[in-house]
Amino acid sequence: MSGIRKGLVALIAEALHRGLPILVGVNGLNLAALLAFAGEEIEGPPTEAEAVTQWCLAKVAEPAACSV
């Protein structure tokens, strides 16, 4: 994953550890690496823009998303 060099892996791992929702765009070439990294923690949101917006709004409204 190209994000490894930029510290994104540590940031994503910390968010997963805290139970915070994250939205990551990934191309087909990097999907296997992301799935290997995130394992069962990954949830694939819909790919249509409006559905992604609704997913984000719903996740932000969850209590876990606000407790850091």
2-41 pLDDT, tens digit each: 545 567 778 878 887 888 888 878 888 888 887 887 777 6
CA atoms within 13 A on the CB side of 29: 2
Q: Calculate ∠ Cα 19-27-37, nearest 5°.
A: 40
Query: What is the per-residue pLDDT for 22?
Result: 81
State if pTM tops 0.85. no
- Kindly provide the b/e burial profile for residues 46-55, where b requires at least 16 CB atoms within 10 angstroms of the residue's own CB: eeeeeeeeeb
Nearest residue to 33 via CA among 19, 12, 48: 12
Domain ranges across the chain: 2-66
Give me Rg for the CA atoms of the chain: 13
